Chain A
Amino acid sequence: MRSVKAIFVKQAKDMTKNFSVLIMFVIFPLVAFGMTHFVARGNDDIADTMFTTMMAGIFVGMALIQSACTIIAEDREKKSLRFLVIAGVKPLAYLLGIGGVIFVASLLSSLAFGYIGGFNRNEFVAFMVVMMSGAVASIILGATIGIYAKNQQAATGLSMPIAVILGFSPMIAQFNERIEILARFVYTQQINVVVNDFSAGLTQPLVVIWLNIAVLAVLFIAAYAKKGLRS
């Protein structure tokens, strides 16, 4: 517990100074805000919430994977992680500390999205639940890639295509039926399903998202067993 807190504090301080990570938590809500106000509001053919849901989906599916992955890969590459391990920090404590900060940061970004989207109360709650469930999935996936990759560069190389596929598959799915069927099993698509039509209900999407989380957790444990946190 002491270690979790130590890592959480370290990561929170680091995040405020790590521009390339921080920007991802700011830029997506900012773009959503701009597009909603200057494009969607003035155009009757575009739903007011369209850009919010689009950007929120890309944010969860892409930005979160990228940040979890680069943070862990950097700690490994610079051998910082080694000193933590030697000081007796357990892997789970490390991941909870790092993941915790990303989770809180995505909570703040999601609140911003929720506000920009102008949802009603029930929609807002559903939006937050589904966003934060997706965040958990993306953080685990990012951490898995971060552990697996040799170094930071390799981590970006690995996570970029995965993040792009996950982040953009809901958009592509709109134009292609086959992809849409495949995408149904992927958590990012389910986030989109919920935020595009709140009346459809939360149960089924949440089941899919949490099944995704279970699968990702297994992948993560496998990566961890194979590679460990040591560099």
Chain B
Amino acid sequence: MIKMDGIVKKFGTQTVLSDVSFEAKQGEIFGLLGRSGAGKTTIINILTNQLKPDSGSHKISVSSYETGLMLDEDGLYDRLTCLDNLHVFADIYGIPHKNSSEVLEKVGLENAAKKAVSQLSKGMRQRLALARAILHKPKVLFLDEPTSGLDPNTAQGIHKLIQGLQKQGTTIFLTTHNMDEAVKLCNHVLLLHKGKIVEQGIPTEICERHNATKTVPDLEAVFIKMTGEGLS
């Protein structure tokens, strides 16, 4: 569904990604784990054609119309209401306005429909950004740190939404630096450190492979073992 092969990306003299290869299968929640600056956002930017790699190839097997995107910056229109923000994109995609209301309900923002975005909390903004990403029912969804900076409860709500989307057949590609989130949500994870893949596979299997299952699978321990550094 999503494939990268030997991707190298440099910014000036700094090599941000070196020889990154992986494949995410249809219907999976695929997690990209790494510390700040590891190159996670850069990978999303390359996959969504916002950045050109220096070498290597990449492919998504659906059209760009069928992909949804939530970036670290939400790009919402502060002065417009939640509903109007979604209507802009409904109009661009040529889909009926009632879809905007439906998707608002899905993310639990139906009571804030007429509120200006500038009056929303961070968690509400995040959910609205997610609503915009899924408005046109994409087959592939890219989420760049969808729960960063949110309290556990709000993050939980977003997790439920992501799992719900997977049940409907959406392939989800997400980045995170939260190990628990990765273990809980992802079918497949990729540990990225300073632009290099240090490990990848099914979370529980990775942990077993590295004898990092104490009471629960401990991805953090694997990460420290592989890189000599903690996550935060």
* A96 interface residue (CB < 8 Å to B): no
- CB neighbors of A among B59-114 (8 A): 64-65, 69, 71, 73-80, 84, 87-89, 91-94
The reply to whether A10 and B78 form a contact with Cβ atoms under 8 Å apart is no
Bound-complex Cα distance A86 to B89 (A): 11
Bound-complex Cα distance A82 to B69 (A): 11
* A178 interface residue (CB < 8 Å to B): no
Q: Give the chain B neighbours of A3 by CB distance below 8 A.
A: 91-92
Bound-complex Cα distance A78 to B80 (A): 14
| Nearest-Cβ distance from residue B127 to partner chain A, whole angstroms | 16
Counting chain A CB atoms within 10 Å of each CB, which of B76, B77, B79, B132 scores highest?
Answer: B77
Contact of A78 among B69, B73, B87, B88 (CB under 8 A): B73
* B48 interface residue (CB < 8 Å to A): yes
* B50 interface residue (CB < 8 Å to A): yes
| Nearest-Cβ distance from residue B59 to partner chain A, whole angstroms | 17
What is the chain A residue whose CB lies nearest that of B89?
Answer: A87
The reply to whether B92 and A87 form a contact with Cβ atoms under 8 Å apart is yes
The reply to whether B79 and A17 form a contact with Cβ atoms under 8 Å apart is yes
- CB neighbors of B among A1-23 (8 A): 2-3, 5-7, 9-10, 13-14, 17-18
Q: A6 with B92: in contact, given A82-B50, A88-B64 (CB under 8 Å)? A: yes
- CB neighbors of B among A72-91 (8 A): 78-84, 86-89
* A184 interface residue (CB < 8 Å to B): no
Q: Give the chain A neighbours of B48 by CB distance below 8 A.
A: 86
Q: A89 with B92: in contact, given A13-B80, A230-B50 (CB under 8 Å)? A: yes
| Nearest-Cβ distance from residue A20 to partner chain B, whole angstroms | 11
The reply to whether B71 and A79 form a contact with Cβ atoms under 8 Å apart is yes
Bound-complex Cα distance A14 to B78 (A): 9
The reply to whether B92 and A86 form a contact with Cβ atoms under 8 Å apart is no
Bound-complex Cα distance A7 to B92 (A): 8
The reply to whether B50 and A10 form a contact with Cβ atoms under 8 Å apart is no
The reply to whether B77 and A80 form a contact with Cβ atoms under 8 Å apart is yes
Q: Give the chain A neighbours of B80 by CB distance below 8 A.
A: 10, 13-14, 17
The reply to whether A9 and B73 form a contact with Cβ atoms under 8 Å apart is no
Q: Give the chain A neighbours of B84 by CB distance below 8 A.
A: 10, 13
Bound-complex Cα distance A161 to B48 (A): 39
The reply to whether A80 and B91 form a contact with Cβ atoms under 8 Å apart is no
Q: Give the chain B neighbours of A83 by CB distance below 8 A.
A: 69, 71, 75, 89, 132
| Nearest-Cβ distance from residue A92 to partner chain B, whole angstroms | 14
| Nearest-Cβ distance from residue A39 to partner chain B, whole angstroms | 36
| Nearest-Cβ distance from residue A56 to partner chain B, whole angstroms | 28
Bound-complex Cα distance A83 to B84 (A): 15
What is the chain B residue whose CB lies nearest that of A18?
Answer: B79
Bound-complex Cα distance A17 to B119 (A): 14
Contact of A80 among B76, B93, B94 (CB under 8 A): B76
For the complex of A and B, the 10 pairs showing the least CB-CB separation, nearest first, are: A6-B91, A79-B75, A17-B79, A80-B75, A79-B73, A10-B88, A6-B92, A83-B75, A87-B92, A3-B92
Binding site for B on A (CB under 8 A): 2-3, 5-7, 9-10, 13-14, 17-18, 78-84, 86-89, 230
Binding site for A on B (CB under 8 A): 48, 50, 64-65, 69, 71, 73-80, 84, 87-89, 91-94, 116, 132
Can you pick out 11 interface pairs between chain A and chain B where the beta carbons lie within 8 Å of each other? A7-B88, A9-B87, A9-B88, A9-B91, A10-B80, A79-B74, A79-B75, A80-B76, A83-B71, A84-B92, A86-B50
Add 9 more A-B contacts to A3-B91, A78-B73, A82-B50 (CB < 8 A).
A17-B80, A79-B73, A80-B75, A80-B76, A83-B75, A86-B69, A87-B89, A87-B92, A88-B65
